[in-house]
Amino acid sequence: MIEIAELSLREISLQLREPFHISSGSTDVRRVVLVRLEDRDGVEGWGECVAGETPHYSSETVDTAWLAIRDWVAPRVVGIPLSRPEECHERLDAAIRGHRMARAAAEMAVWDLAARRESVALSVLLGGVRDRVATGISLGLQPDPATLVRKAILARDAGYRRIKLKIAPDRDISFVSAVREALGESVPLSVDANAAYSLADIDRLKALDGLDLTMLEQPFDGDDLVRHAALQRVLRTPICLDESITSTARLEDMVTLDAGRIVNLKPGRVGGLTEARTIHDHAGRHRIPVWCGGMLETGVGRAHNVALASLPQFELPGDLSPSARYWVRDIVTPPWTMEDGTLRVPREHSGIGVDIDHDYVDDLTTRAETIGG
């Protein structure tokens, strides 16, 4: 039995090593909401909210998540016994429409706490099987093809197993073909449009089809499953859905419509690890490859992603770059490091498997609030 005594919210502010540009917006200083839970026995659990500062990737933001966690999530987590971590998801899903990133932050903290209570690794508790997870890199939009080529070569030389290029209608074919030319045929390349296109751009998208891409991620709006299906009918390249897949039902819709053939799975986007694991299981049944996406997380969110990516169906490299790609100093110890294009899954430690650098988190904190206690 799990009984949460208090939920603490913190917002920290952490400077990215370099600004990250995608078609829908940019991030330079990352404002991150962290959730810390403590149970009646003093066991803690940590979660991270992936919402950004502005609603450019999804409608949620740092500020809407703070409100949702404080006013709607916390009262359903604190002081009400849970017999297993999955129950937290069921309870939040029944009571709160949307706000999946807010719900996920608390739900994932419950999973960490449950694992620590049992002294097992989060990966083990979730049913993970891998000791190492393969790592890709997501390169943001660049001012010109030459700059993008330089970064792609550095990424290949660093050992990343797949290189993803952000694209937009004014930065696509010439940029992607320059990278393909520089790297040759053997490097797995994919592109991510973050919903910047419409069916009117079909000729541009068909031109990308000839560049031997592993996938074309989220060309259209998240709601546009039918239009994605129309596009998939005329492309050889598999469409990968990210923003569109907010639940198991959306995955089922994708399969039914053939709106996409690969899924970028982010626990933060779907309400947490319980729903992410269900999507993983369904995808496996439909033989849809899944990979773990990223949202410029600190070491806390990355730990949850790594644990999820250790599940059997994650056969493609994830957006799981090491800490040093994002931060001068991460908020966890040890930081996440890459070896031979992989991150190690900390399966011998209990919970998320990394320690929080409490003093550093205190230094970075811009607001804090505790519910319960």
Catalytic residues: 166, 266
Among 47, 85, 294, 299, binds ligand OSB (CB under 6 A): 294
Please classify residue 162 by burial: count the beta carbons closer than 10 Å to its beta carbon, then call 0-12 exposed, 13-18 middle and 19+ buried: buried
Report which of 86, 125, 133 is spatially closest to residue 350, judged by C-alpha positions: 125
Residue 356 CA, distance from chain mean position? 20
Which x/- pattern, by CB under 6 A, does the window 240-259 give for ligand OSB? --x-----------------
Q: Is 319 in the site for ligand OSB (CB under 6 A)?
A: yes
Partners of residue 25 on adjacent β-strands: 22
Total of chain residues touching ligand OSB, rule CB under 6 A: 12
For ligand OSB, the binding residues in 111-140 under the rule CB under 6 A are: 138
Q: Which of ligand OSB, Mg ion, none binds 57 (CB below 5-8 Å, type-dependent)?
A: ligand OSB
Which x/- pattern, by CB under 5 A, does the window 194-233 give for Mg ion? -----------------------x----------------
Question: Looking at beta carbons only, is 172 or 242 nearer to Mg ion?
Answer: 242
**Helices 225-234 and 248-257, interaxial angle, to 10°?**
40
Tokens 């966890």 found at: 332
Residue 38 corresponds to which tokens in the numbers above? 């403590």
Closest residue to Mg ion, based on beta-carbon distance: 242
Q: Is 48 in the site for ligand OSB (CB under 6 A)?
A: no
Q: Which of ligand OSB, Mg ion, none binds 295 (CB below 5-8 Å, type-dependent)?
A: ligand OSB
Considering the complex, what minimum distance in angstroms separates the CB of residue 193 from Mg ion? 8
CA dihedral for 7, 297, 222, 134, sign (positive or negative): negative
Question: Looking at beta carbons only, is 166 or 304 nearer to Mg ion?
Answer: 166
Among 192, 253, 297, 330, binds Mg ion (CB under 5 A): 192
Q: Based on C-alpha coordinates, what's the Rg of the chain? A: 20
> 334 preceded by cis ω (within 30°)?
yes
CA pair distance 363, 366, nearest whole angstrom? 9
Considering the complex, what minimum distance in angstroms separates the CB of residue 319 from ligand OSB? 4
Q: Is 274 in the site for ligand OSB (CB under 6 A)?
A: no
Q: Is 296 in the site for ligand OSB (CB under 6 A)?
A: yes
Report which of 11, 12, 38, 41 is spatially closest to residue 112, judged by C-alpha positions: 38
Under 8 Å between Cβ of 86 and 274:
yes
Question: Looking at beta carbons only, is 96 or 168 nearer to Mg ion?
Answer: 168
Stretch that binds ligand OSB, among 61-69, 127-135, 288-296, 361-369 (CB under 6 A): 288-296
CA pair distance 42, 101, nearest whole angstrom? 26
Q: Which of Mg ion, ligand OSB, none binds 317 (CB below 5-8 Å, type-dependent)?
A: none
Under 8 Å between Cβ of 6 and 37:
yes
Q: Is 295 in the site for ligand OSB (CB under 6 A)?
A: yes
Report which of 43, 14, 41 is spatially closest to residue 109, judged by C-alpha positions: 43
Phi/psi at 245 (5° precision): -95, 90
Stretch that binds Mg ion, among 207-215, 238-246, 281-289, 322-330 (CB under 5 A): 238-246
- Enumerate binding residues for Mg ion (CB under 5 A): 192, 217, 242
